[in-house]
Amino acid sequence: MLELTDEKIKFLEKRANEIRESVVKMLYEAGSGHSAGPLGMADVFSAFYFHILNHRPEEPEWSDRDRLVLSNGHICPVRYAAMAYAGYFPLDELNTLRKLGSRLQGHPHRQSLPGLETTSGPLGSGLGQSIGMALAAKLDQKKYRIYCFVSDGEQDEGNHWESVMFAAKRKLNNLTVLMDRNNIQIDGFTEDIMPLEPLRQKYEAFNWHVLEINGHSIEEIVDAVNEAKAIYEKPTLIICHTIPGKGVSFMENNYLWHGKPPTRDEAMAALKELRSLGGKIQID
């Protein structure tokens, strides 16, 4: 991983805002999809696709690439936007999100778009898939790393916790999980639907190395991933505390935006806020 300079941090923050703008426009054009989660995870995706990941957009099946598994596939607009800016496919294609025949489906479909590692949809499955990749890497004595992105609401799934146990048993130090701890799910706030705390202590009891960070701080994201690489005896969980709907004031911390797109007026208002941070995307 290259040095994280002040100039690079500014670039990554700007790219995160560009990703947010694209997410808003994509969802408006699609007329369906999830708003809060993608906006909240833009900083993490910017840090990964433009600084952390060892990957080759021009060669998406490169055998030594790091693997990024998106378990909570409903936030895929943020991944699609990051991939487009990274050069996996043309930016114009973002406007085809969720449309008939599009490669950008409402949940990622591995066979539709180069650069996707899995097909996701059912929550709780991604960690198990990531464990298979991590085991394969160890068997093949490969140095690539596996990063699994999960949601906090996904912690309600029993099969996820089976995978948590298994990863610790096999001491998968090449596996890092990043949890979007935004405190919302489609029916309300996580602590009202199914209380999750104390999350850190739960994972530590399962013998994971656990870090908690501000998921909007590029420095904290990068530092946490670097620390995970230095852990040799267990997998690592990075709990990313994020604001759902980040950057759009009327969406922030409002669980009602978990699973709905903006109208034209709402999209224009959102882009106006994001443009105040240096953005440029507009609605035709």
**C-beta separation of 215 from 241 below 8 A:** yes
Domain-embedded: residue 203:
yes
Average pLDDT taken over every residue of the chain: 96
CATH code at 220? Answer: 3.40.50.970
CA atoms within 13 A on the CB side of 118: 24
Q: Please state the length of the chain.
A: 284
Per DSSP, helices labelled H in 87-152 are 126-139
Residue 278: pLDDT above 90?
A: no
Residue 112: pLDDT above 70?
A: yes
Domain-embedded: residue 91:
yes
Instruction: Quote the crossing angle between the two packed helices 76-86 and 6-30, to the nearest 10°.
Output: 120
> How many independent structural domains does the chain possess?
1
> Residue 62: which of 73, 74, 54 has the closest Cα?
54
Percentage above 70 pLDDT, the chain: 97
Domain-embedded: residue 282:
no
Domain-embedded: residue 284:
no
CA distance 44 to 222: 9
Domain-embedded: residue 37:
yes
> What is the pLDDT confidence band of residue 263, given thresholds at 50, 70 and 90?
very high
Q: Is the peptide bond before 195 cis (omega within 30 degrees of 0)?
A: no
Give the pLDDT of residue 276.
Answer: 83
> What is the pLDDT confidence band of residue 279, given thresholds at 50, 70 and 90?
low
Domain-embedded: residue 30:
yes
Q: What is the pLDDT of residues 47-105, one digit of tens each?
A: 999 999 999 999 999 999 999 999 999 999 999 999 999 999 999 999 999 999 999 99
> Residue 50: which of 94, 11, 103 has the closest Cα?
11
Residue 11: pLDDT above 90?
A: yes
Domain-embedded: residue 103:
yes
Evaluated on CA atoms 4, 23, 211, 164, the torsion sign reads: negative
Domain around 208: 6-275
Give the pLDDT of residue 3.
Answer: 87
SS3 255: helix
Q: Across residues 175-190, what is the average pLDDT?
A: 96
Domain-embedded: residue 88:
yes
